[in-house]
C-alpha cells in the first residue's frame, strides 16, 4: 500500500505515468506529447518515426536470444479525454494533472486521469528504456485521437512495420483478455434556429441538470446511468405543455463518446411564473432521483435566476423542433445480443448539445457489432431530420474487431496466465471500439488487448488500480519472455478454447 506519490513513482511504470501526466495530451492536440516521445526515443538511441498525424512509431531490437522470435507491435493511444468538475479551477492548457493516492487507487484531483492512454504510454516507455527485460523485436506505436476519431490509427502507414502480433494496451480490466469490439460512427444532428426578439419584461432562468456519473458511452450504456441532455428534454417538454416560456439556449455534455453528466437550458419567463417553474423542476428533481436511485443517486435538477441579458430567443417553431429532437434522438441500448448473454449488440448515445448563432447541434455516437443495425439507426436519424426540417451528417467511422478463435497470441496469454496465477483467464468482447479494428483492416495481425483495472473512465472520478497496474506489467513481461512458445501453438490450441464472454 502506498500513501505518497513519490513512493509510487519509484516503480518505473508509475514514474513514466507521472511524467506524461505533466504533458497535455488532449485528443486532437497531441503535438506536445508526440514531440516528447520523439525526444525520448532520441535520448535512448532508438529509431523513431513521427508521421503527419503525429503518430509515433519507435523500434527496438530484440534482446539476446530473441532475434528469431516474431516481431511484436505494442500499441496504444497517446491522447486523453479532458473533463473536470464544474467548479474545478484546473486549466488543462497549462496545469499538470494533480495525481493523488487513495488506498489502492490513483486519481487526478477534480479532473479525468487519462488512465488508459497514460498506462499505455507508461508501459511502452518502460519497455523501451530498459536494458534488462527479455523481449523480441519491438515496434511501439502510439497513436493520436484514439479517444475520439481514431484518426491516428486510420492514417497510419503500416508499410514500415514487420510485426505480425499486435498487443494493444487500451483495455481496462485485469484478468481478462479483450478479443473483440464493436464498430461505431459519429453523427451531428443540426436544427436551424429562427430567432425572435426577447420580451423585455421577462426574467432569465437557468435549468440545470447535474450530479450524474456519466462515463464511456459504450462500456456504461447498459448500466442505467442518466443522460443529462435527455433528462433536460423531458423537463422542457412538460413545461411546454404547462406554462409559457421562451427558450434562449441549450448546452450539455463534453464528448460524443461520453454519457453527458450535466446539461442546462436558459428560459425567459414572467416574474410571477418563477415559483411555478421552480415547483415544476423540483417535481422532476424528485422523479429523477427515484428513477435513477440505483445508478445515479446524486442526480439533481434545479432552477437559478440569472443576471445575464438575452436579447433574442428561439421562435416557437424552433423550440418545438428542439424539444422533439431531445425526446426522439436515439440514446441508449437498442439491441441486446441473442447469441451471447450480456452483449450490447447496438446502441446510440446523445453526448453533446451546443447552441450557435444559426443552429443547435446534437452530437451522438452509434455503436454496433452488426453493420446492418448501425445502418438502421443511421436511417432513423435521417428520417427524423427530414421530418423536423433539419440536417444530420455522419463523421468518423471505424470497423468492428471480429473475434478470432484461432488466435495464437490469445493462447499464449492464456498459457502464461494459467502458469503465473493458477487459474484460467477470461476472454471478453466489449461494446466499444478499439484501434485494433483499424489495424486489422490494414493487415492480418494476430491481436489481443490487455490492461489494468480502470474505473469511471472519461469522468473526473476516473481512477486506476495501482496493484492491477503492476500485475498487468508483470504479466506483459512474462508473455514477452515466453514469446518463443507461440510457434508451438497450432490452429487448435490446447489451452482455453471457450468462446469469449461478451460484456456491454
**pLDDT (mean) for 196-203:** 92
pLDDT at 369: 83
448 grid coordinates? 489481443
Report, at the CATH architecture level, how domain 7-76+121-182+401-451+466-502 is classified: 3-Layer(aba) Sandwich (3.40)
DSSP 71: P
Cβ neighbours for 195, distance < 8 A, ≥ 6 positions apart? 312, 313, 314, 315
Which residues are CB-neighbours of 504 under 8 A, at least 6 positions away?
Answer: 218, 219, 221, 222, 333, 336, 342, 343, 344, 347, 430, 431
* Strand (E) or helix (H) holding 137: none
- Per DSSP, what are the bridge partners of residue 391? 190
CB 329 within 8 Å of CB 206 = no
Q: pLDDT: is 502 or 389 the higher one? A: 389
Contacts of residue 299, defined as CB under 8 A and 6 or more positions apart, other chains included, come to 209, 210, 211, 212, 226, 231, 288, 289, 292
Confidence of residue 10 (pLDDT cuts 50, 70, 90): very high
pLDDT in tens, 20-75: 999 999 999 999 999 999 999 999 999 999 999 999 999 999 999 999 999 999 99
If one compares 212 and 309, the residue with the highest pLDDT of the two is 212
Radius of gyration of the chain (CA): 24
What are φ and ψ of residue 298, in 5° steps? -95, 10
What's the chain's average pLDDT?
93
* Per-residue pLDDT at 186 exceeds 50: yes
Residue 401 has pLDDT above 70, yes or no: yes
- The pLDDT tens digits of the residues spanning 295-327 come to 999 999 999 999 888 889 999 999 999 999 999
Closest CA to 435 of 249, 207, 166: 166
Distance between first and last Cα of the chain: 32
Kindly report, residue by residue over 412-450, the tens digit of the pLDDT: 999 999 999 999 999 888 888 889 999 998 988 999 999
134-to-15, 66, 422, 484, 490 alpha-carbon distances in Å? 21, 8, 23, 11, 24
Asked if pLDDT for residue 496 goes beyond 60, the answer is no
For residue 367, the cross-strand partners are 184, 347
Of the candidate CATH numbers 3.40.50.620, 3.30.70.360, 3.30.720.210, 3.30.420.40, the domain formed by 186-396 belongs to 3.30.70.360
Share of the chain above pLDDT 70, in %: 96
What's the pLDDT tens digit per position in 101-112? 999 999 999 999
> What does pTM read for this prediction?
0.75
Under DSSP, the state recorded for 160 is: T
All 3 cell numbers of residue 56? 509515433
At 502, the pLDDT band (50, 70, 90 cuts) reads very low
Helix, strand, coil share of the chain (percent; to 5) = 30, 30, 40
Q: Where are the beta strands (DSSP E) in 163-287?
A: 165-168, 176-181, 183-192, 195-197, 202-210, 215-216, 246-252, 258-259, 263-270
Rounded mean pLDDT, 134-143: 97
- The 10s digit of each residue's pLDDT in 236-262 is 999 999 999 999 999 999 989 899 999
Element containing residue 327 per DSSP (H, E) = helix 316-328
Instruction: Report whether pLDDT(487) > 90.
Output: no
What are the sequence ranges of the domains in the chain? 7-76+121-182+401-451+466-502, 186-396
Question: What count of Cα atoms within 13 Å lies in the side-chain half-sphere of residue 25?
Answer: 33
User: What is the pLDDT at residue 340?
Assistant: 65
Q: Do domains 7-76+121-182+401-451+466-502 and 186-396 have the same CATH topology?
A: no
Amino acid at each position: 500500500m502506498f500513501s505518497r506519490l513519490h513512493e509510487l513513482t519509484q516503480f518505473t511504470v508509475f514514474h513514466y505515468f507521472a511524467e506524461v501526466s505533466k504533458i497535455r495530451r488532449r485528443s486532437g492536440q497531441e503535438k506536445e506529447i508526440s514531440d516528447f516521445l520523439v525526444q525520448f526515443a532520441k535520448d535512448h538511441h532508438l529509431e523513431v518515426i513521427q508521421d503527419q498525424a503525429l503518430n509515433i512509431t519507435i523500434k527496438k531490437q530484440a534482446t539476446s536470444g530473441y532475434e528469431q522470435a516474431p516481431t511484436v507491435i505494442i500499441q496504444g493511444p497517446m491522447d486523453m479525454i479532458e473533463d473536470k468538475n464544474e467548479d474545478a479551477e484546473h486549466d488543462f492548457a497549462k496545469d499538470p494533472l494533480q495525481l493523488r493516492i487513495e488506498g489502492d487507487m490513483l486519481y487526478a484531483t477534480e479532473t479525468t486521469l487519462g488512465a488508459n492512454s497514460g498506462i499505455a504510454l507508461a508501459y511502452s516507455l518502460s519497455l523501451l528504456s530498459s536494458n534488462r527485460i527479455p523481449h523480441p523485436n519491438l515496434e511501439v506505436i502510439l497513436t493520436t485521437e484514439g479517444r475520439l476519431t481514431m484518426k491516428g490509427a486510420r492514417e497510419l502507414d503500416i508499410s514500415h512495420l514487420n510485426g505480425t502480433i499486435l498487443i494493444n494496451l487500451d483495455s481496462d480490466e485485469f484478468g481478462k483478455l479483450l478479443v473483440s469490439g464493436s464498430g461505431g460512427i459519429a453523427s451531428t444532428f443540426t436544427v436551424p434556429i429562427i430567432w425572435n426578439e426577447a420580451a423585455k419584461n421577462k426574467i432569465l432562468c437557468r435549468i440545470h441538470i447535474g450530479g450524474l456519473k456519466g462515463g464511456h458511452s459504450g462500456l456504461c450504456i447498459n448500466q442505467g446511468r442518466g443522460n443529462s441532455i435527455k433528462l433536460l428534454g423531458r423537463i422542457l417538454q412538460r413545461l411546454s405543455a404547462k406554462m409559457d416560456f421562451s427558450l434562449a439556449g441549450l448546452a450539455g455534455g463534453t464528448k460524443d463518446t461520453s454519457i453527458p453528466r450535466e446539461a442546462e437550458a436558459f428560459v425567459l419567463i414572467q416574474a410571477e411564473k418563477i415559483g411555478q417553474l421552480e415547483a415544476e423542476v423540483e417535481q422532476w428533481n424528485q422523479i429523477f432521483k427515484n428513477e435513477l436511485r440505483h445508478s445515479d443517486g446524486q442526480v439533481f435538477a434545479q432552477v437559478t435566476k440569472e443576471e445575464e441579458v438575452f436579447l433574442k430567443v428561439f421562435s416557437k417553431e424552433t423550440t418545438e423542433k428542439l424539444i422533439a429532437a431531445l425526446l426522439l434522438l436515439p440514446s441508449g441500448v437498442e439491441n441486446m445480443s441473442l447469441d451471447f448473454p450480456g452483449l450490447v449488440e447496438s446502441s446510440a448515445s446523445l453526448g453533446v448539445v451546443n447552441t450557435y448563432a444559426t443552429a443547435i447541434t446534437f452530437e451522438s455516437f452509434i455503436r454496433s457489432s452488426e453493420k446492418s443495425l448501425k445502418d438502421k439507426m443511421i436511417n432513423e436519424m435521417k428520417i427524423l431530420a427530414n421530418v423536423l426540417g433539419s440536417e444530420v451528417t455522419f463523421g468518423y467511422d471505424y470497423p468492428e474487431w471480429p473475434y478470432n478463435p484461432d488466435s495464437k497470441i490469445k493462447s499464449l496469454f492464456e498459457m502464461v496466465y494459467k502458469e503465473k496465477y493458477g487459474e484460467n483467464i477470461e476472454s471478453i468482447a466489449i461494446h466499444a471500439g478499439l484501434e485494433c479494428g483499424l489495424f486489422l483492416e490494414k493487415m492480418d495481425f494476430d491481436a489481443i488487448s490487455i490492461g489494468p483495472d480502470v474505473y469511471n473512465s472519461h469522468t473526473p472520478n476516473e481512477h486506476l488500480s495501482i496493484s492491477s497496474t503492476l500485475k498487468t506489467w508483470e504479466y506483459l513481461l512474462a508473455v514477452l519472455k515466453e514469446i518463443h512458445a507461440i510457434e508451438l501453438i497450432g490452429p487448435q490450441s490446447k489451452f482455453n478454447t471457450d468462446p469469449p464472454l461478451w460484456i456491454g
